[in-house]
Amino acid sequence: MKLGFIGLGIMGKPMSKNLLKAGYKLVVYDIVQEAVKEVVAAGAEAGSSPKDVASKTDIVITMLPNSPHVKTVILGKDGVIEGIQKGKIVVDMSSIAPAVSQEVGKALAEKGVEFLDAPVSGGEPKAIDGTLAIMVGGKEEVFNKVKDILLKMGSSAVLCGDIGAGNVTKLANQIIVALNIAAMSEAYVLATKAGVDPAKVFDAIKGGLAGSTVLNAKSPMVLEGNYKPGFRIELHIKDLQNALDTAHDIGVPIPLTSVVMEIFQAMKVEGKAKEDHCGIIQFYEKLAGVKVRKK
Q: Check if the beta carbon of residue 128 is closer than 8 Å to that of residue 118.
A: no
Q: Does residue 233 surpass a pLDDT of 90?
A: yes
- How many Å apart are CA 264 and CA 280, to the nearest integer? 7
- The topology (CATH level 3) of 168-288 is N-(1-d-carboxylethyl)-l-norvaline Dehydrogenase; domain 2 (1.10.1040)
Pairing between strand 59-62 and 45-46?
Answer: unpaired
Q: Please tell me the predicted confidence (pLDDT) of residue 138.
A: 98
In this prediction, residue 124 has a pLDDT band, given cuts at 50, 70 and 90, of: confident
- pLDDT tens digits, 144-178: 999 999 999 999 999 999 999 999 999 999 999 99
| Half-sphere exposure for 181 (CA within 13 Å, toward CB) | 28
- How many Å apart are CA 121 and CA 170, to the nearest integer? 7
Beta partners for 116? 91
- How many Å apart are CA 181 and CA 204, to the nearest integer? 18
Q: Check if the beta carbon of residue 80 is closer than 8 Å to that of residue 104.
A: no
Closest alpha carbon to 28 in 41, 40, 15? 40
Cα separations in angstroms, 290 against 38, 195, 274: 42, 10, 23
Cα separations in angstroms, 157 against 20, 101, 125, 153: 19, 18, 17, 9
- How many Å apart are CA 191 and CA 214, to the nearest integer? 18
Range list of H helices, 194-289: 198-205, 213-224, 233-250, 255-269, 281-288
Q: Please tell me the predicted confidence (pLDDT) of residue 230.
A: 82
- How many Å apart are CA 22 and CA 136, to the nearest integer? 21
Helix (H) or strand (E) holding 171: helix 165-193
Over range 104-126, report the average pLDDT.
Answer: 95
In this prediction, residue 123 has a pLDDT band, given cuts at 50, 70 and 90, of: confident
In this prediction, residue 237 has a pLDDT band, given cuts at 50, 70 and 90, of: very high
pLDDT > 70 fraction of the chain, expressed in percent and rounded:
100
Say how many Å lie between the first and final Cα of the chain, rounded: 53
| Core vs surface per residue 124-155: b (16+ CB within 10 A) or e | bebbbebebbbbbbbeeebbebbeebbeebbe
Q: Does residue 188 surpass a pLDDT of 90?
A: yes
Cα separations in angstroms, 104 against 88, 128, 187, 250, 272: 15, 28, 42, 20, 32
Q: Was domain 2-162 assigned CATH 3.20.20.450? A: no
Q: Check if the beta carbon of residue 167 is closer than 8 Å to that of residue 137.
A: yes
Q: Does residue 222 surpass a pLDDT of 90?
A: yes
- pLDDT tens digits, 37-94: 999 999 999 999 999 999 999 999 999 999 999 999 999 999 999 999 999 999 999 9
Pairing between strand 25-29 and 45-46?
Answer: parallel
Give CA 24 to chain center in angstroms. 22
In this prediction, residue 7 has a pLDDT band, given cuts at 50, 70 and 90, of: very high
Q: Does residue 3 surpass a pLDDT of 90?
A: yes
Task: List the chain domain ranges.
Answer: 2-162, 168-288
Q: Check if the beta carbon of residue 4 is closer than 8 Å to that of residue 27.
A: yes
Q: Please tell me the predicted confidence (pLDDT) of residue 274.
A: 96
In this prediction, residue 267 has a pLDDT band, given cuts at 50, 70 and 90, of: very high
User: What is the value of pTM for the model shown?
Assistant: 0.92
What is the chain's alpha carbon radius of gyration, rounded to the nearest angstrom? Answer: 20
Which residues are catalytically annotated? 170
